[in-house]
Amino acid sequence: MGAYILRRILLMIPTLIGIMAISFAVIQFAPGGPVEQVIASLQGEAGGATDRVSGGGGDFGSGQGGGENSGYRGAQGLDPEFIARLEKQFGFDKPPLERFGKMLWDYSRFDFGESYFRSISVLDLILEKMPVSISLGIWITLLSYLISIPLGIRKALKDGSAFDVWTSGVVIVAYAIPGFLFAVILIVLFAGGSFYDWFPLRGLLSDGVRGDWCAPWSPAFDAGDCVTRTIPDYFWHLTLPLIAMSLSAFATTTLLTKNSFLDEIRKQYVTTARAKGLSERRVLYGHVFRNAMLIIVAGFPGAFISAFFAGSLLIETIFSLDGLGLLGFESIYKRDYPVVFATLYIFSLIGLVTTLISDLTYTWIDPRIDFERREV
């Protein structure tokens, strides 16, 4: 097993390099880079000032000023030295291959630099947004498993019954409803949209909840008061986002659990166990459960990472939750390349490690599985 783990870890290196190389190449051809973003901002501000001075008839940048041959759209009228300073500030004064090599070397040491437009290190920025995404990922995964597994087992035992039919219908309909659409409905109904104003719409905690009583360095720190005030407010803020995200999260795990149990129940060893006089509960939970749950439990790391990083952008935007999904979207929109590449690198690395953990979980649950002996 050690050789298999080592081989998988070594394969992560070219995989990461390939992901970053493709993304870096795409970025080179994408219009509207950070230099152009600054130029557009300056042109807009100056254009607005010129309009005010000239009564709206100004056309900033239409003269024969410097920057005409800079290669940037809208750079006419700007000092070429200023454009050169911008390129040096953002690192675009070096050839692409040199920039890509430096990026890989820095990322190998987890040095992600600073954000172009936020004046904060990328790592600190990601850690700042992490609590929201962790909260959504953990709770949606736990809710999904705690509800889907018992429901899937029940459906397998009642296969073909009225309970199985109507629950399948509910699960499939819930899976078909987009999470962002259901989120909007929840806001309209329960968050002050048109009917009830029961739930908040911003952040993980209400204003004023984080007081001196929650600061360990404060003389007024009170752990009990902090818990009683913070935890209810925390779950109050997460109620609607979790409902919106979990609506479609049950379908896959529920149906996978049901089909896995049905497949095991129909095997010969179950018939033999029943023939020996074992109770149905002993057969189900003593023999079937472990084999049937192999694929479910082994997929838990992947399910958590999927809930952690994927599918939360719209939910974070709708409910004003400042997490990694919203951070990634804003970084792409603003062309904040250090944040874009850093989040891509971290997500890709975590995804590769999670895949390895999922494979190792298979061997932990069922020792008969041996990846080291299989042909590659």
Position 376 pLDDT exceeds 50: no
Residue-number span of the structural domain to which 369 is assigned: 126-164+172-177+249-376
310 and 362 both lie in a single domain: yes
Q: What is the pLDDT of residue 369?
A: 67
Element (H, E) at 268: helix 268-275
215 and 273 both lie in a single domain: no
Q: What is the pLDDT of residue 17?
A: 92
Asked if residue 23 belongs to a domain, the reply is no
Boundary of a domain, candidates 247, 271, 301: 247
**What whole-number percentage of the chain has pLDDT above 70?**
71
Give one DSSP letter per residue of 197-240, joined into a string: B-S--SSSS-TTTS-GGG-TTSTT--HHHHHHHHHHHHHHHHHH
Q: Residue count of the chain, please give it.
A: 376
Asked if residue 239 belongs to a domain, the reply is yes
Report, as an integer, the average pLDDT of 206-223. Answer: 59
54 and 151 both lie in a single domain: no
338 and 270 both lie in a single domain: yes
What is the CATH number for 306?
1.10.3720.10
Other C-beta atoms within 10 Å of 241: how many?
27
- How many domains is the chain built from? 3
Asked if residue 203 belongs to a domain, the reply is yes
Q: What is the pLDDT of residue 18?
A: 93
The tokens for 33 are 């880079």
What's the CA gap between 97 and 25, in Å, rounded? 10
**What whole-number percentage of the chain has pLDDT above 90?**
4
Boundary of a domain, candidates 214, 247, 280: 247
What's the CA gap between 40 and 61, in Å, rounded? 11
Position 276 pLDDT exceeds 80: yes
Asked if residue 121 belongs to a domain, the reply is no
State the pTM of this model: 0.70
Asked if residue 109 belongs to a domain, the reply is no
Residue type, 267: K
Asked if residue 113 belongs to a domain, the reply is no
Q: What is the pLDDT of residue 47?
A: 43
219 and 339 both lie in a single domain: no
Q: Whose CA is closest to 8, among 306, 359, 303? A: 359
Report, as an integer, the average pLDDT of 338-354. Answer: 86
The packing angle between helices 223-246 and 122-157, to 10°, is 60
Asked if residue 1 belongs to a domain, the reply is no
360 and 256 both lie in a single domain: yes
Position 21 pLDDT exceeds 70: yes
335 and 352 both lie in a single domain: yes
Q: What is the pLDDT of residue 176?
A: 85
What's the CA gap between 231 and 227, in Å, rounded? 6
321 and 260 both lie in a single domain: yes
What's the CA gap between 187 and 198, in Å, rounded? 10
Q: What is the pLDDT of residue 372?
A: 62
185 and 222 both lie in a single domain: yes
Contact (CB, 8 A) for 268 and 199: no
251 vs 163, residue with greater confidence: 163
pLDDT band at 44 (very low <50, low <70, confident <90, very high): low
Boundary of a domain, candidates 227, 247, 267: 247
- For residue range 320-337, list pLDDT tens digits in order: 788 887 888 888 888 888
Contact (CB, 8 A) for 146 and 300: no
Dihedral sign for Cα 113, 117, 120, 125, please: negative
Query: How far, in Å, are 293, 351, 363 from residue 368 at the CA level?
Result: 15, 25, 7
Element (H, E) at 300: helix 300-309
- Residue 114, strand partner residues: 121
Asked if residue 5 belongs to a domain, the reply is no
303 and 342 both lie in a single domain: yes
225 and 371 both lie in a single domain: no
DSSP letter (8 states) at residue 7: H
Q: What is the pLDDT of residue 166?
A: 92
157 and 196 both lie in a single domain: no
Q: What is the pLDDT of residue 29?
A: 73
pLDDT band at 49 (very low <50, low <70, confident <90, very high): very low
The tokens for 171 are 């699960």
Report, as an integer, the average pLDDT of 296-313. Answer: 67
What's the CA gap between 231 and 224, in Å, rounded? 11
Contact (CB, 8 A) for 247 and 179: yes
